[in-house]
Amino acid sequence: MSISPLSPLNGMDLSAGLSAGDNFKVAWQSPSNIALVKYWGKKDGQLPASPSLSMTLEKAITQTRVDVIFGEAEKGLVSLNGSIDHPFLPKMQHLLDWMTRQIPCLSKVTLRATTENSFPHSTGIASSASGISAFALCLISIAGKIHGLEGDPADMMRMASFAARMGSGSACRSLYPGFSTWGATPLFTGSSDVYATPIAEFVHPEMLLLRDAILVVSASPKSLPSTRGHQSMNGHPFFSGRIMQANRNMEETFAALSANDFEKLGMVAENEALALHALIMSASPGTMLLKPASVEVIHRVRDARSSGLSLFFTLDAGANVHVMYQAGLAVAVEKFIGEALQPLCENGRVIFDSCGTGPRKLNEATAGS
């Protein structure tokens, strides 16, 4: 059996003698990510059925602060933003329960978390990748402090990625700048099903400047929770074809990223986006997540490309459309978005984001206060 990345945190637990005077805070900021090769379907143990590859975003982030309190009777995560029934609390609780089984010292403290997303509420933008990765980083920091361990930053990100996948699979890819993969693949030495791997070093520097405009076609929460979506792949008639397609698209995407081949990257990303929605529509029961405006955006993006504008689209499991383009063409593409796509968005909402720099530790004294 392989060694858990969390094993350094299973050593001597110094929490026994700690009391109220030793209370401390930790705070992290972590980004969301957009998959170019999609994770859809899983194996037991929260492992992906096929490898995925994503770009970390820069502006779509969550900032989370956790107050760690010793000596209170009630242990565990007792509140989020002061509420005991915040809608995101069960996901965080699930992650904490799993982490506590790996790192028992977490059962001895009381945690109060405060969290804030950079993207406005009601935009239909999922916050689980950023929120869960930020919370995983906080928990690793807490365990490290309790054990008196500084830890190497790369090891720490790997631990957080290993843990974050238990809260939300895609969250495990948010721990790294640029691009990262999750799922064992012969393409990358060190790739794994149990944590994501950064690949920025294999990516052409121009690709690290990519832009992503998120077109908020619908601000309503998506009607297909991702847990149910992943489950719908069990027994799906296209399952084996999907696994082959994802592996082939990983190869193509990696080749495009390293060669700075934007056109090829777009071809594969659009194939992945439409494949994801085809799988969702052809599951039993099938679901239609695209809105008429999503389809219209896709047609307009393709028409603009036929007329010579270099851009492509991708989709998450929802109605909103991500439009990706190169930094050098930002003025022309953003003019097109403003004129042709923004009017199709709910309240004209577009979030202009870009390839990001990864998580950041915050000053715990000021974050979220």
- Total interface residues for ligand PMV by CB under 6 A: 13
* Gyration radius from the chain CA atoms: 21
Binding mask 18-57 for ligand PMV (x = CB under 6 A): -----------------x--xxx-----------x-----
Taking residue 337's Cβ as centre, other Cβ atoms within 10 Å add up to 23
If you search the block for the tokens 């979030």, which residue do you land on? 351
Provide the b/e sequence for 173-201 (b: ≥16 CB within 10 Å). bbbbbbbbbbbbbebbeebbbbbbbbbbe
Residue closer to ligand PMV (CB basis): 226 or 249: 226
197 contributes a contact to ligand PMV by CB under 6 A: no
Candidates 76-84, 167-175, 215-223, 297-305; binding stretch for ligand PMV (CB under 6 A): 167-175
Distance from the first to the final alpha carbon of the chain: 43
Residue choice 127, 180, 226, 354 for contact with ligand PMV (CB under 6 A): 226
Residue closer to ligand PMV (CB basis): 265 or 276: 276
Residue closer to ligand PMV (CB basis): 28 or 40: 40
Residue choice 270, 316, 353, 364 for contact with ligand PMV (CB under 6 A): 316
Provide the b/e sequence for 46-59 (b: ≥16 CB within 10 Å). bebbbbbbbbbbbe
DSSP state of 319: S
Candidates 163-171, 200-208, 337-345, 348-356; binding stretch for ligand PMV (CB under 6 A): 163-171
- The residues near 265 (Cβ < 8 Å, ≥ 6 apart) are 36, 207, 253, 256, 257, 312
Residue choice 29, 127, 170, 294 for contact with ligand PMV (CB under 6 A): 170
Residue closer to ligand PMV (CB basis): 68 or 283: 283
DSSP state of 172: G
- Residue 340, token pair as written in the block: 């042709």
- What are the CA-CA distances from residue 42 to residues 32, 50, 131, 276 (Å)? 20, 8, 21, 14
Max CA distance (Å), the chain: 69
Residue closer to ligand PMV (CB basis): 194 or 276: 276
Residue choice 250, 279, 317, 355 for contact with ligand PMV (CB under 6 A): 317
Q: How far is the CB of 104 from ligand PMV (least distance, A)?
A: 27
Q: How far is the CB of 21 from ligand PMV (least distance, A)?
A: 39
What's the rounded Cα separation, in Å, for the pair 116 and 93?
Answer: 17
127 contributes a contact to ligand PMV by CB under 6 A: no
What's the rounded Cα separation, in Å, for the pair 274 and 219?
Answer: 21
128 contributes a contact to ligand PMV by CB under 6 A: yes
With 0-12 / 13-18 / 19 or more C-beta atoms within 10 angstroms meaning exposed / middle / buried, residue 103 is buried
Residue closer to ligand PMV (CB basis): 300 or 322: 322
Candidates 104-112, 147-155, 166-174, 250-258; binding stretch for ligand PMV (CB under 6 A): 166-174
Q: How far is the CB of 95 from ligand PMV (least distance, A)?
A: 12
88 contributes a contact to ligand PMV by CB under 6 A: no
168 contributes a contact to ligand PMV by CB under 6 A: yes
The residues that touch ligand PMV, with contacts defined as CB under 6 A, are 35, 38-40, 52, 128, 168-170, 226, 276, 316-317
